Structure 1
Amino acid sequence: MQKLIKYMVASSLLFLSGCWDHAELTEYVFVQSLAIDQKKDGRIKLTTQFYKPAPKIASAGGGGESYFELETEAKSVFDAIRDVTIHLGRKANWGHVRFIVISEKVARKQYLGSVLDFFFRDHEPRLLTGVAVTEGSAADYLKEKPHVENTVSEQLNEVTKTGSKFSAKTYPANLFTIGKQLHSEVDTVYVPYLKKENAKENSIFVDGLSLFQGGKLKTIISNKETKSLMLALNDFQFGIISITCKGSKLQESFEITESHTNSSLEIKKGVVHYSLQPKLQASIGELECSKVETKHQLEVLHKKLEKQVNHNLMALLKQSQKKNIDIIGLGNHIYRSNPREWQRMKKEKVPYYKDAVFHVKSEVNILNTGTDISKPFHKKY
């Protein structure tokens, strides 16, 4: 009986697949970030930043960077990616890539979906990989040194995420959000816009938002405008709203600690009416010219804040209407609420956004003065 069992176990081993298609770690080089630029002749230039393999214990010693860069050129992104093998003798692995930067030149000339097509199709890249557009050459941004993180790709990833959460001055774009937005009815895509000060070292910062429509970069909005856009999209988490003192250049600032924007849509005689009602809770950050010693004074401050929020939102919407760029994805709202009407508008090429009527009415409630002093701290009266 024991011999029979041994025979059956041994026979079953013949049907196991084993590791016939395995690959050793030494056959790969792991990507951490990528810069996409375009040369004058139209060829794509990729600057790929790789994790540097750790040295063997016997040869360990010294410091040095934990990464290195390689430039490749080709007519397509995928072709340039595969050229890594003829330079390094290893295949690039995209399972750990953190960030992709695309130059403004590429974003304006190339269709975004085409530039990123490989990363949506291949099984290795993660959909949470961050993406940003750069002023000037994208490759230059990978050469900057990080302030806190170990690599610049980690810094860019954190800057775009935390910058969105705590300042509302950008949008945390990644492959997933871009793919979803590209396949929406109006394909409005939001991608952080990066700048750096050439006179300074390690000076990368987020300077607003790149807006795509039709797959190409159409306009760039400022940090201030981005905050209003985040309110309109109901993506505002935390941020600062400032009010200029009357007759002075001094400003008072308020931190938004909670935000929710209700929206509603109605079509009257073929004209789209879209209402936005932001409801905000705020804390006083800095006072320069206001007092909140009485209930009336607090109500006056509420009205000032509400007026400022309304003004900022309407200014953004009117500016985008002049350019006829559906900055808030209004067409998506029409499609969800009235698909038949949306199909008519698309077929007849109705300028639904340019002719839309917007109604903005915000509600602000100040819950915290930040201290027991209900007037500017530096004033003695």
Structure 2
Amino acid sequence: MEPDYLWGCPDDFVPPDVAAFGKRYVKRWQASAKKLRTYDFWRQLFYSAALTRFEWVNLPHGIDARYLELLLLGWGAAAATRRGEGEIIPYWVGRCSMNGNRDLYNNPNAITMISPNGVTQRRHANWWVSHAGSNGHERKSRIMRPNACICWDNMMRLPILPQLDLFAQRLAEMDTTIDQHSMALRVPYIIGVEEGGEKNAEALYNRIAAGEGAVYYYRGGPAAVPIQVLTTMPAAAYAGDKLLNDQGKLISRAYTFLGIDNNAAAEKKERVQTAETLANNEQFMMQRMSAMRPRQEFLQKCRDILGGPWWETEVKWAVPHVEEMQQAVQGFEASSPSTSVSYSSGDQATVWS
């Protein structure tokens, strides 16, 4: 995590503890900070998309939908349970760790729920046996109902955070390569100086780089420095446009991984065929199902085990798929009342109210 002063005033962009090591170190630090900000841009883009994919409706009082999705994104699983009778916030969700053996279908039995403020609770996600009240002379066993429900982020039950980091790293590398290609298109200056003439050469180059229309000098000053111009990359070798095209494909792949509707051919100037537009639908729809089904199963378990307000809770995609929206519109039109009007010619017309 970067220090807070990196996001402050532009005048404070170079911290004093960095500037103390000299200009060369400052330039290297600025280059590394730029790479870090480039990576953070792509990471924040994908993180925001992942956190806002789903809309939780009518969650019980005290449960934060953002925090629930944050747990699923970073840990791949979260659990919900009841705090106790008479509590102001009767239900809560938190990170969970599996304890003990698992059942026949590799589902956890006992879990430990953990909150950021250090509260931990031992819960059971399956039917379990309680031996409360047993002593040396008598053993009491009772079969107890589960008192916690686990929500998985996807059918694989794995966090997607490392994959999003991979996408962000690859896109940041492409951005760095594009910047290098752009810098190579600039005309480089090869300045040969004698010993002790570095400052004069640097002053001359700074004036040229600043775009000054005229450079005034004293005889024997900076103008005495010989300058050569060398072009290291012709315009034909520039590959920035190809990298930008590859970036678009990689971004489309990342959105497909998240189950977000996207079209990699959206920037084509010619008319895109319908079959080409819908060719990627099956891929991201399967990804949608992999993320939606565990959340729906989680809600069903909460209704059966915890009851109460969980019966009114729903989860859905924040932005429905294009075909789903069309089906909703068609269903609305089919359910709208209509009146059939007959004319003397025998023709009929339908009037929608």
What TM-score, normalized by structure 1, do the two folds share?
Answer: 0.21
Q: Normalising by the residue count of structure 2, what TM-score does the alignment of the two structures yield?
A: 0.23
Higher strand proportion (structure 1 or 2) = 1
| Greater C-alpha Rg | 2
Structure of greater relative contact order (alpha carbons < 8 Å, 6+ residues apart): 2
